[in-house]
């Protein structure tokens, strides 16, 4: 029991230090049941929007997503033909949105390191995608080097997923070192993903974390070693130093979602 109290207290202290007077309202919004969603089915013309107060799984069958998830995909800018990498694709929600947005001539490589998550990725793309034009591979981006092969890359990095911890009431196991550890892994993934990006290409880094260490902190560290152009597309979300952040208390319950857009200059 003492450990649970300690974990929750550490969680509140950690994020209170980052958000100051805004933390109580943000924290309360993380506790609220998600009221809005989109549901993808294997029909390009059908995207169901949720009705507040009704469980989406009782409303319509499909692959259910927080509407905030669409913004990193929109930020890719998929008009025209592209070679696309979804670097941490499982369980497949953003890959499904990419498949809907990309042209018929575009190609998507969706990959993930986890064999169990890869099974879900394959199942979800097979069940809910209305098209082909994709390849699925199991590997860790850090273990496989792609040298400038893609002109669009989505790196939806593994993150702290604080809303999940709050919703599942498992904060007793939370520790502040988790965010710092993940930020190091995210930075390493971003560097490797950058190596896979073609000159003139666009990379979108995203998380569902509210930790500044895992969001702007990762981008700031990256920019100290790599020459990248930050692009602000003026999409939805509160503007941060390097990207955009959708927080549920500011976006009608959507999020959290952070995304930053980086472009590699042509040689």
State residue 165 phi and psi, 5-degree precision.
-60, -40
Q: Is 251 a catalytic residue?
A: no
Catalytic option among 88, 159, 208, 251: 208
| Catalytic residue annotation | 208
């Amino acid at each position: 029991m003492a450990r649970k109290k300690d974990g929750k207290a550490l969680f509140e202290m950690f994020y209170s230090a980052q958000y100051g007077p805004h933390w109580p309202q943000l924290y309360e919004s993380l506790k609220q049941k998600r009221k809005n969603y989109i549901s993808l089915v294997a029909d390009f013309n059908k995207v169901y929007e949720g009705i507040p107060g009704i469980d989406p799984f009782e409303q319509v069958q499909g692959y259910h997503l927080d509407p905030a998830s669409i913004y990193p995909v929109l930020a890719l800018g998929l008009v025209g033909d592209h070679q696309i990498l979804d670097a941490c694709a499982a369980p497949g929600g953003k890959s499904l949105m990419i498949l809907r947005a990309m042209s018929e001539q575009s190609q998507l490589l969706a990959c993930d390191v986890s064999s169990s998550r890869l099974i879900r990725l394959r199942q979800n793309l097979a069940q809910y995608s209305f098209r082909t034009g994709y390849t699925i591979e199991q590997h860790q981006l850090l273990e496989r080097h792609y040298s400038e092969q893609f002109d669009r890359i989505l790196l939806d990095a593994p993150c702290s997923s604080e809303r999940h911890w709050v919703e599942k009431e498992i904060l007793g196991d939370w520790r502040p070192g988790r965010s710092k550890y993940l930020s190091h892994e995210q930075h390493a993934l971003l560097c490797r993903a950058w190596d896979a990006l073609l000159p003139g290409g666009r990379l979108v880094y995203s998380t569902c974390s509210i930790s500044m260490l895992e969001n702007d902190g990762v981008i700031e560290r990256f920019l100290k070693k790599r020459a990248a152009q930050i692009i602000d597309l003026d999409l939805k979300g509160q503007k941060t130093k390097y990207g955009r952040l959708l927080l549920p208390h500011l976006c009608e319950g959507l999020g959290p979602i952070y995304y930053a857009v980086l472009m590699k200059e042509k040689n």
